[in-house]
Structure formats: structure tokens, C-alpha cells
């Protein structure tokens, strides 16, 4: 019996988008090989940017050939999101916009309306059914593992099923994980595996990633043709399954966490990513915040144009826990994601003619606790007063950068303005680096907040008791932390008052920790102290003894932060590394800056200090 | 923790401050909401817009709180405006709908009347600068200034008219002179050939006799010249 397979081709998640033109040219040549052979029928998914590039680079005859191939049923183009996002992570308005934009692009490119929906991450949730139905999709491709889970069986599943939710219906076609892997890895057992799916000559859907490197794409198509010819494989596009075969039954519930996202095996929804990785969660919440603000304040074309600005930030690369520029473990990808959002924020401000200061006390992170969002036309930041008043986000809108963008392998968020006590001992820079990375001496208790409005500015006053441990001693300090925001400048004033309410002396180093997602490029000078450039190799931590003005700048991002102290202050600076799968054990994830002050903090004594932070372009 | 369920948003645009409350507000949150609003509205600003569109009030005590806040803002010569459009809130505030300023949006309030807003801003800045005038003095001063302005305008208008008259007279005289010059030229040209033949003596050069038209004038002229001699 001939194996019956529906090949589904998609661009690999590792595709070099920086070289998309070359990818598109090779894709066009590869498709020509496939269409010339005429015996391989398959389905293809291309995201919007690839399709646009293909249209731009392909020869007129190639487009004609592709159109003819579609008409003859040799090739089927699948629909999906324009940037191929994981839909359940986003509001319905943006989901629909992604799907419709891709659909209209496909229509203008090839003059066809896609019948099937595909998402390269194979994420599925029941809430998607009504959206897909609204966008005129007949069927969707889902992971076979999810269908097996829904059916409660371990045997291979092929054909198609129905799922319904809130009165909407969708046909779902499982994609075989096992056979895709076997064919993708040239496993000789593939025929045996295929047979287990091909009952009554039902085709099995096999998902193949195109090679990420442009020069390998044509070779891939040649191998595919060769594979079909040599093994006498009967091929069909995926739509054949839905159009020609009877349904296998109905599924009451279907959920899939997706593939190649870096999620733990036990995860059953892509939303698990938001719980697991605070960096991804912060990016998504920043996007939701912009979306809700835009939706509440803009109308008509302004709103549509603003939504367009948000769409690239929904790209799956920003929601994967992967490294090597495939996901958010890479600092470059995080910077890239926030850049899209900050551009959208800047666009929103200009469309709203926003000026002045906006303070929003709400559950920004959607975790059941409030945070304070402070925004002016230059900067925005998120103050988490329930967690030591740390800043979870610090966006500078003009260079479009979020400075609180470091990564921690322990799953904790990057911290900014997190107060930390170090013991009054003779510590080396390495030792301080280890203590700060340990994060167990931080003031992370709840503060009460007060917003005090003044002319042209506002103060967020935080006050509360914070537990401490210095050496053997433990106790509670009464801490007041004040953040001063101007109506229109990228400056934040910070003032501390730490009162020792105990009857014991607590000599210590009091400081504030800042974990910045900067200096990814790793070249050139990056620190200026009191007007003089300081050399630093970005690997070994060091302490600058007395600084009145301490500036860190990233020339590739065109972003800088300057700290100005009332009195000369020692500043620690060190790198943040994370584990990587490569031979090199460390991946650069940002820098740790820790200005600190020596304090005797005798019984009932108060310690006060102040500094100003200014964000600027380089 | 129930008090922590309130969402508050503050947008500060200088004179205008918009404070939005959202969420379900029960008795448990009353003191927290009162404290937050009190603190926020004691800062600078002329118009405090309380956007309640997304708030749900579970108890009537909030009405008293808003009355209280309104009194306090009036004491500070500011205005408190409630913003909402939903039926539920209209019903909730129906008892005091004539007391509160209720509008659909900030823009709706702005277009509802310029004079009252100017007055409000005037009162606010009056307090801020320390310059205060009673209404009668303000009206008298206003009338006086207006009188001055009107008089000045009338003087300027009269002078303008006078200048225009003189200008027209000058123009008429100038055109008359031009006409005479043309006439003289015409006459001179008509007698030109006769003068060249010596038939006509040019008396126009005899200035002393130029004005003599009759015997009486001639005799007067003689008498005058003799006296001068």
C-alpha cells in the first residue's frame, strides 16, 4: 500500500528574517521545482512578511505558475495570523485583525481565500473557534497530541474532527507529531509509522519546516520531490481531508500548549508561558495596556492605524522561551519586542495629543495585585508597591527601549530600584555580585502608597516596614521611598528614609539594585563617571569608589541612564549571565548596577539618601 | 484587601485633572476611596473630572462622599465634574442631579458653556494671585474701561473722517489746478503764431498790470505806486 501523506510546509522558527529577501527568492525557486514535478500535492503556510517579500521578489511567471498550481489543486495556501501569533494570548480585536490582514494579503497576492487556518506554534484553545468562524475559516490544524488527549487514547489519530464552543463550529485536522519527526529526521521507520495512520487510505498530515538558511531551501524542495518519487507516496493537500472524507467524531474539549516554545512538558496551554517567564508576561501586559488605552481613546482610522503598530509585537518570537535569537532568552529579541511596543506607545501619544502625567493604579500584571503605572510623554514605568516598590518596567519612549529587561534563570523578574542591604564587611566586587544575584537581602515587602500631586509633577510615596537580615541580626526597618515624576521630562527623583526601629545597631551598606537589559552589543565604551569614560570589559564586576554622576549608555540602542547623587557614592557594576545550551556556558543578559551608602543605623536612627535618574539618548 | 480592588487612574493636564474610578465599590472601600480622592483633589487643578463610567456603587454612602468632595473643591475655588453616561449611574445620582455637574465626557463639559469656565478659571487665579475684586467694583471698572475704549474709538473715527474730507478737498483742488494749467496751455498755443509775428504783445509778463481789468483798478494801482515812491 502506498503511504498517503498531506505535506504541510512552513518556514522554520529559526528563519533568518534579516535575510528575508533571499529566503523569498529561494522559496519561489523551490515552489517552481515542486510545481514542475506535478506529482507532489501539498499545503503551505507563509506569514505576512514572507508573502510580501515573495510578491516583491518573485518573477511574474513564477506567480502565474503558483496561481495555476493552486487552481489545479497541486498546492494549497493556508491562512493564519499576519505575524503568525499565538492567538489565545491576545484580545479578540487584535486576533481578528491579524487573521483578516493575512487573508487580504493572500487574496491580493494569489487571488484566493484560504480555507484552512494554521499557526506554526500549533497553539489551540476553545476560545479561538468563534474567531476563526468569524474570519471564514473552514478548518484548523491542531497538534495530534492534543486530539489524542481529548479522545483519551494513545493510538495514532488521523482524519478530521469537530469542536464547538459558544454555538460556533470548527473542523480540526490533527498534525502527526511522530511522523513529522520521523520524516524530518530521515528515520527509516517512517513508512511503518505512516501505515498506522493510513487506515482506509486516510492521509496523515506531516508538518515539515523549511530550512532556516536561504541557500538550503531549493535543496529541500528537491529532496521532497525525490522522497515522494522514490517512495511512491500518494500526496494530497490538507483541504482534501476535510472536503472528501467523513468526520471522525466530535471533541468536547481541545487545548494545546503548542510546540517549540520552550514550555515545560506538563504545560497544557500557551498561557503557561506568562506564568513561567516574567519577561514574556511583562511584554504581553505592556501590549495589553497599550491596546486598552488605544481602544478607549481612539476611533476610526486612528484606531486602525494604531492597531497596525501593535501587530508586529504579537509575533511568536516574543512569546517563546528559547535562546539564540529564536525567543526571549535572547536579550536582542527582548529589546526588539519592546522597541515595537514603545514605537506604538509613541504613536498613541501623538494621536491622543497626550501631555501631562498619567498615573494608573490597577492590576496591570493581571495577578490579583495592583501596581502603579506612571506615564508622561517621555517615559513610562510600572511601580510594584506590593513588591518593595520595584520598577517592573522602565520605558524610554524616544529611543523606544525598556531598560528593565534583564533575564534570570530562576524565573524571577528583572528588578529596578530594589533596595538591598549588604553586611558591613570587607567585600570584593565578586562577592557583592554573588550576594546581589542571590536576591535574598532585598526589601520586597508590601508598601502603602500615596500619590501626591504637585504643580508640574507628582510624587508616589511608598511607606512600610521591611524585614532585613544583616549577618546574624534580623529585624524590621521602617522605610519611606519617594519617587518624583515630572510632567514632561525623562527624569525620576528617588529619595529614601530608612529608620531603625529596633534597639540594636545595624551597620550595613544600604543600596538600590538596578538590573538593566543594556550593553548587548558588547563593544565600545559604556560607562561615564563624572564626565570621564571608564573602561569595562562587561565580564568582571567592579566597584567605582566615589561617583557623583554615573552614566551607563548603550550606543547600539541609543539609550542611556544617568544617576546623580547628592554626595559621592560608590557604585557596583557587574554583568548578568544566564545558562545556555551551547558549549559556552554563559549568555549575556544585561548588567547589574548597585549604588550603595554606608550606614551605621544605630538604634532609633534614621538614614536618608537621594538620587536623580535621567534617561536620555546617548 | 477589598479596598485594594479599586482601580484609580489620574490624568494631569495642568488645570484639568481627570480621575477615573473603576470596579465595584462597596462599603468596605468607602474610606479608602475617600482618602485617595481627598488626597488627589487637594493638589493643584481647577477642574476635577471624576470619571465614574466604569464604577459600580453598591451603597448610597458614596453620594455623601461625593457631596463632601464637591464642597471641599468649592472651598478651594475649584470645580468637581462627574463624568458618566450609563443609566445605572444616572439613577444612582438622580437625587442630587441638580447639585452635581454631570456630563458625558470632559469634552462635553468643555463645550457646555464658556462663561462659567472662564469665571471658574478667574476665581481660581484670583485666589492664586491674591487680586480680588467685588462684583460691583469689577463691573464699574469694566464700564469705565469700556467707556475709555469707546471714547478713544470715537475720537479716532472722527479724526479719520476729518482727514478723509481734507484729503478729498486737496484732491479736488489739485484736479482744478491741473484743469487750469491745461486751459492756459491751450490758450497759449492758440496765440503762439500771432506772438511770433509780433501782432500780439505778451502782457502776461507784465506782472504789475496783470490784475488790472478796469479803470478804477488802474487808478488805484497808480495811486499805490505813487505813494510807495
- Residue A94: pLDDT band (50, 70, 90) is very high
Q: Is there a domain that residue B168 lies in?
A: no
Q: Is there a domain that residue B162 lies in?
A: no
- On whether the CB atoms of residues A159 and A144 are closer than 8 A, the answer is no
What is the pLDDT, as a whole number, of residue A106? 94
- On whether the CB atoms of residues A271 and A189 are closer than 8 A, the answer is no
Q: Measure the CA angle with vertex B149, ends B143 and B154; round to 5°.
A: 125
What is the pLDDT, as a whole number, of residue B208? 54
Phi, psi of A422, deg, nearest 5: -115, 150
Q: Is there a domain that residue B99 lies in?
A: yes
- Residue A498: pLDDT band (50, 70, 90) is very high
- Residue A339: pLDDT band (50, 70, 90) is very high
What is the pLDDT, as a whole number, of residue B200? 63
**Is residue B101 packed enough to be buried (19+ CB in 10 Å), middle (13-18) or exposed (0-12)?**
middle
Please count the residues of chain B.
229
Q: Is there a domain that residue B208 lies in?
A: yes
What is the pLDDT, as a whole number, of residue A565? 95
B132 pLDDT above the threshold of 70? no
Cell 565580564 appears where? A539
pLDDT tens, position by position, A303-312: 999 999 999 9
Same domain membership, residue B119 and residue B195: no
Q: Is there a domain that residue B24 lies in?
A: yes
In this complex, which of B7, B39, B44 lies closest to A455 when CB atoms are compared? Answer: B44
What is the pLDDT, as a whole number, of residue B121? 60
For the record, the C-alpha cell of B70 comes out as 464637591
In this complex, which of A355, A363, A451 lies closest to B10 when CB atoms are compared? Answer: A451
Which residues are registered as beta bridge partners of A563? Answer: A550, A613
Cell 480622592 appears where? B37
A528 pLDDT above the threshold of 70? yes
Q: Residue range A394-423: average pLDDT? A: 92
Domain boundary, last residue among B106, B129, B152? B129
Structural domains of chain A, with CATH: 4-251 (3.20.110.20), 422-616 (2.70.98.10)
**Contacting residues of A for B13, CB less than 8 Å apart:** 355-356
Task: Decide if B10 and A363 are in contact by the 8 Å CB cutoff.
Answer: no
In this complex, which of A355, A361, A454 lies closest to B13 when CB atoms are compared? Answer: A355
Strands, DSSP E only, in A437-585? 448-454, 457-470, 473-486, 491-500, 508-516, 527-529, 532-534, 542-554, 559-579
Same domain membership, residue B121 and residue B19: yes
Percent of chain A's residues with pLDDT above 90: 72
- Residue A500: pLDDT band (50, 70, 90) is confident
pLDDT tens, position by position, A133-186: 999 999 999 999 999 999 998 899 999 999 999 999 999 999 999 999 999 998
Chain A residue with minimal CA distance to B15?
A: A455
Q: How far apart are the first and last CA of chain B?
A: 126
- Residue B128: pLDDT band (50, 70, 90) is low
What is the pLDDT, as a whole number, of residue B2? 46
Dihedral sign (CA A319, A363, A403, A405) = negative
Q: Is there a domain that residue B159 lies in?
A: no
Q: Residue range A219-240: average pLDDT? A: 93
Which of B8, B11, B12, B49 to mutate to probe the A interface, most A CBs <10 Å?
A: B12
Mean pLDDT of chain A: 91
pLDDT tens, position by position, A346-400: 999 999 988 889 999 999 999 889 999 999 999 999 999 999 999 999 999 988 9
Same domain membership, residue B198 and residue B89: no
Q: Residue range A245-271: average pLDDT? A: 91
For the record, the C-alpha cell of A598 comes out as 554606608
Q: Is there a domain that residue B141 lies in?
A: no
Task: Decide if B12 and A362 are in contact by the 8 Å CB cutoff.
Answer: no
Same domain membership, residue B200 and residue B113: no
pLDDT tens, position by position, B162-187: 999 999 999 999 999 999 999 988 88
For the record, the C-alpha cell of A238 comes out as 490538507
- Closest CA of chain A from B31, distance in Å: 14
A535 pLDDT above the threshold of 90? no
Same domain membership, residue B196 and residue B122: no
- Closest CA of chain B from A66, distance in Å: 52
Chain B residue with minimal CA distance to A357?
A: B12
What is the pLDDT, as a whole number, of residue A506? 79
**What 3-state DSSP class applies to A438?**
helix
Domain count, chain B: 2
Query: Which uninterrupted H or E stretch holds A295?
Result: helix A278-297
Q: Measure the CA angle with vertex A595, ends A594 and A599; round to 5°.
A: 120
Same domain membership, residue B195 and residue B122: no
Same domain membership, residue B217 and residue B118: no
In this complex, which of A357, A362, A453 lies closest to B40 when CB atoms are compared? Answer: A453
What is the pLDDT, as a whole number, of residue B210? 57
In what side-by-side order are the strands of the sheet with A401-402?
A401-402, A390-396, A379-384, A371-375, A357-362, B7-13, B16-25, B47-57, B79-83, B101-103
Q: Is there a domain that residue B106 lies in?
A: yes
Same domain membership, residue B221 and residue B120: no
- Which string of b and e fits A26-41 if b means at least 16 CB within 10 Å? bbbebbbbbbebeebb
Same domain membership, residue B119 and residue B14: yes
Percent of chain A's residues with pLDDT above 70: 98
pLDDT tens, position by position, B185-216: 888 888 877 777 766 655 555 555 555 667 77
What is the pLDDT, as a whole number, of residue A602? 81
- For residue B35, the domain's CATH number is 3.30.750.24
B1 pLDDT above the threshold of 60? no
Which domain range does residue B195 map to? Answer: 190-228
Task: Decide if B44 and A359 are in contact by the 8 Å CB cutoff.
Answer: no
Same domain membership, residue B18 and residue B117: yes
Nearest residue to A6 (alpha-carbon basis) of A200, A151, A158: A158
Nearest residue to A116 (alpha-carbon basis) of A138, A95, A132, A97: A138
Q: Residue range A527-534: average pLDDT? A: 92
From residue A111, how far is each of A64, A114, A239, A616, B150 by CA, in Å? 11, 10, 17, 48, 74
A to B CB pairs, distance under 8 Å: 53
Same domain membership, residue B21 and residue B109: yes
Same domain membership, residue B118 and residue B210: no
Amino acid at each position: 500500500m502506498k503511504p498517503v501523506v498531506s505535506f504541510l510546509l512552513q518556514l522554520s522558527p529559526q528563519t533568518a528574517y534579516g535575510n528575508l529577501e533571499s529566503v523569498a527568492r529561494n522559496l519561489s525557486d523551490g515552489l517552481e521545482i515542486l510545481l514542475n514535478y506535478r506529482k507532489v500535492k501539498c499545503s503551505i503556510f507563509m506569514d505576512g512578511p514572507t508573502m510580501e517579500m515573495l510578491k516583491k521578489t518573485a518573477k511574474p511567471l513564477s506567480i502565474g505558475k503558483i496561481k495555476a498550481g493552486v487552481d489545479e489543486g497541486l498546492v494549497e495556501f493556508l491562512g493564519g495570523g499576519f505575524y503568525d501569533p499565538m492567538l489565545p494570548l491576545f484580545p479578540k480585536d487584535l486576533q481578528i485583525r491579524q487573521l483578516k490582514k493575512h487573508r487580504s494579503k493572500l487574496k491580493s497576492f494569489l487571488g484566493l481565500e484560504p480555507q484552512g487556518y494554521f499557526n506554526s506554534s500549533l497553539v489551540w484553545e476553545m476560545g479561538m473557534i468563534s474567531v476563526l468562524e468569524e474570519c471564514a475559516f473552514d478548518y484548523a490544524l491542531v497538534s495530534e497530541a492534543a486530539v489524542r488527549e481529548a479522545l483519551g487514547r494513545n493510538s495514532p489519530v488521523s482524519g478530521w474532527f469537530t469542536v464547538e464552543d459558544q454555538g460556533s463550529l470548527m473542523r480540526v485536522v490533527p498534525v502527526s507529531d511522530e511522523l513529522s519527526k520521523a520524516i524530518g529526521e530521515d528515520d527509516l521507520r517512517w513508512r511503518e509509522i505512516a501505515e498506522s495512520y493510513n487506515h482506509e487510505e486516510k492521509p496523515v498530515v506531516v508538518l515539515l519546516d523549511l530550512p532556516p538558511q536561504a541557500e538550503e531551501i531549493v535543496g529541500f524542495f528537491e529532496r521532497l520531490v525525490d522522497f515522494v518519487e522514490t517512495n511512491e507516496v500518494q500526496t494530497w493537500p490538507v483541504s482534501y481531508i476535510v472536503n472528501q472524507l467523513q468526520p471522525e467524531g466530535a471533541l468536547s474539549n481541545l487545548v494545546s500548549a503548542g510546540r517549540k516554545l520552550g514550555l515545560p512538558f506538563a504545560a497544557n496551554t500557551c498561557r503557561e508561558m506568562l506564568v513561567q517567564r516574567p519577561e514574556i508576561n511583562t511584554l504581553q501586559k505592556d501590549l495589553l495596556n497599550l491596546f486598552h488605552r488605544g481602544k478607549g481613546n481612539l476611533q476610526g482610522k486612528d484606531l486602525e492605524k494604531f492597531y497596525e503598530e501593535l501587530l508586529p509585537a504579537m509575533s511568536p518570537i516574543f512569546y517563546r522561551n528559547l535562546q539564540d535569537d529564536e525567543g526571549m532568552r535572547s536579550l536582542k529579541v527582548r529589546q526588539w519586542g519592546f522597541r515595537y511596543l514603545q514605537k506604538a506607545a509613541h504613536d498613541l501619544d501623538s494621536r491622543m495629543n497626550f501631555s501631562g502625567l498619567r498615573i494608573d493604579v490597577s492590576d496591570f500584571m493581571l495577578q490579583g495585585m495592583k501596581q502603579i503605572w506612571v506615564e508622561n510623554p517621555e517615559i513610562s514605568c510600572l511601580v510594584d508597591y506590593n513588591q518593595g516598590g520595584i520598577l517592573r518596567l522602565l520605558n524610554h519612549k524616544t529611543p523606544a527601549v525598556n531598560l528593565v529587561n534583564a533575564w534570570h534563570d530562576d524565573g524571577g523578574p528583572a528588578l529596578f530600584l530594589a533596595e538591598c542591604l549588604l553586611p558591613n564587611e570587607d567585600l570584593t566586587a565578586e562577592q557583592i555580585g554573588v550576594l546581589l544575584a542571590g536576591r535574598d537581602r532585598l526589601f520586597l515587602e508590601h508598601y502603602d502608597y500615596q500619590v501626591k500631586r504637585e504643580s508640574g509633577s507628582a510624587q508616589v510615596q511608598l511607606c512600610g516596614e521591611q524585614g532585613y537580615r544583616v549577618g546574624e541580626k534580623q529585624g524590621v526597618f521602617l522605610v519611606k521611598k519617594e519617587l518624583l515624576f515630572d510632567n514632561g521630562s525623562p527624569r525620576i527623583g528617588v529619595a529614601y528614609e530608612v529608620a531603625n526601629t529596633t534597639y540594636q545597631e545595624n551597620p550595613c551598606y544600604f543600596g538600590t539594585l538596578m538590573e538593566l537589559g543594556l550593553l548587548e552589543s558588547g563593544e565600545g565604551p559604556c560607562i561615564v563617571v563624572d564626565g570621564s569614560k571608564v573602561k569595562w570589559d562587561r565580564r568582571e564586576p567592579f566597584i567605582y569608589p566615589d561617583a557623583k554622576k554615573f552614566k551607563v549608555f548603550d550606543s547600539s540602542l541609543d539609550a542611556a541612564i544617568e544617576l546623580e547623587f547628592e554626595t559621592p557614592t560608590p557604585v557596583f557594576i557587574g554583568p548578568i549571565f544566564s545558562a545556555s545550551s551551547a558549549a559556552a556556558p554563559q549568555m549575556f543578559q544585561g548588567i547589574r548596577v548597585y549604588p550603595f551608602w554606608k550606614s551605621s543605623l544605630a538604634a532609633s536612627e534614621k538614614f536618608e539618601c537621594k538620587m536623580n535618574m535621567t534617561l536620555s539618548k546617548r | 484587601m477589598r479596598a485594594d480592588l479599586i482601580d484609580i487612574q489620574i490624568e494631569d493636564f495642568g488645570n484639568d485633572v481627570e480621575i477615573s474610578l473603576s470596579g465595584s465599590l462597596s462599603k468596605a472601600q468607602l474610606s479608602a476611596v475617600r482618602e485617595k480622592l481627598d488626597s488627589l483633589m487637594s493638589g493643584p487643578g481647577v477642574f476635577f473630572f471624576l470619571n465614574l463610567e466604569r464604577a459600580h456603587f453598591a451603597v448610597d454612602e458614596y453620594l455623601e462622599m461625593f457631596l463632601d468632595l464637591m464642597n471641599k473643591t468649592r472651598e478651594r475655588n475649584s470645580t468637581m465634574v462627574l463624568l458618566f453616561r450609563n443609566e445605572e449611574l444616572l439613577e444612582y445620582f438622580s437625587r442630587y442631579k441638580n447639585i452635581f455637574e454631570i456630563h458625558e465626557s470632559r469634552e462635553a463639559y468643555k463645550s457646555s458653556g464658556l462663561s462659567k469656565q472662564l469665571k471658574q478659571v478667574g476665581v481660581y487665579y484670583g485666589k492664586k494671585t491674591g487680586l480680588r475684586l467685588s462684583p460691583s467694583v469689577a463691573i464699574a471698572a469694566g464700564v469705565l474701561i469700556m467707556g475709555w475704549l469707546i471714547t478713544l474709538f470715537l475720537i479716532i473715527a472722527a479724526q479719520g473722517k476729518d482727514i478723509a474730507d481734507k484729503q478729498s478737498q486737496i484732491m479736488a483742488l489739485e484736479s482744478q489746478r491741473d484743469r487750469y494749467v491745461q486751459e492756459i496751455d491751450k490758450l497759449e498755443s492758440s496765440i503762439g503764431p500771432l506772438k511770433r509775428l509780433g501782432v500780439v504783445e505778451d502782457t502776461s509778463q507784465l506782472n504789475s498790470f496783470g490784475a488790472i481789468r478796469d479803470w478804477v483798478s488802474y487808478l488805484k494801482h497808480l495811486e499805490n505806486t505813487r505813494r510807495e515812491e
